[in-house]
Structure 1
């Protein structure tokens, strides 16, 4: 019942072309006109899907981000530019223990949520589509404040002199500066 209510709610939000804030009513963006999805401040991150087999053949929808766990001891965060996979981690992570608690097969292969337009036909668990709006990642002051980061976690570090994207591959954080 809760799942049905969530789907109906997301569908209604999409119909009104509204912004979605997860965690509170404020979010972190000061100007909301170009935001499609955002998260509350805190010491939590967005966890991307794990895959045990890297999607192929290419092209894969540009903008796809995932944790490649095809080799559990060499897991890496990856991004698709539409024609190839780009490594975001820079080093291997070990997700062996995380995979033991993850189901080894997908129960609902067609399940997905779409926020925004339905124009591209992009395939994914959560698809954000807009030509004028973007997603604001969860914001933290420091990854050291996250007590138990999960493999596949992404956050934006908003700290004076150290503003950057951080991704966790299961073992270490990798940082991307603008």
Structure 2
């Protein structure tokens, strides 16, 4: 657990993350005085993308063997097709997501980031949005997919794509500051 009053959020990502979907939530959290750790399967830096073009790199704070879900108050899962397809295959990433979900802590997922939640088997019975191409994946995993910019279902905040980031960041901060609130729906 983090120190009282000192909130801490984990962002799980690897090479191929969609730059805006990692950097904008990270900045919104830091601007709110929340500590953020980028956690990955590798040390050093990870490569971001804007669509299919290489963008900036981000420093990794901890690798999965160093990070513990119980140390965080919330979790952010950015998208990016390459990132999402790679990270969903990592057992340690799946375990991290399952433990955060089991603790009922806020999880914010955007775009293709839902693939990790599907692989971690935490979508069943949950309502969320994503990039439209994941609609069938979410439904096949037992989830309910909505075609909205942002959806909040209990501790789960989901966003459709980078255009959803302003509303997504607002919903993420609300979920962190009011984690016990019942389901809210946002467009």
Normalised to the residue count of structure 2, the TM-score between the two structures is 0.23
Higher relative CO (CA 8 A, sep ≥ 6), structure 1 or 2?
A: 1
Task: Name the structure with the higher helix share.
Answer: 2
Larger Rg: 1
Normalised to the residue count of structure 1, the TM-score between the two structures is 0.24
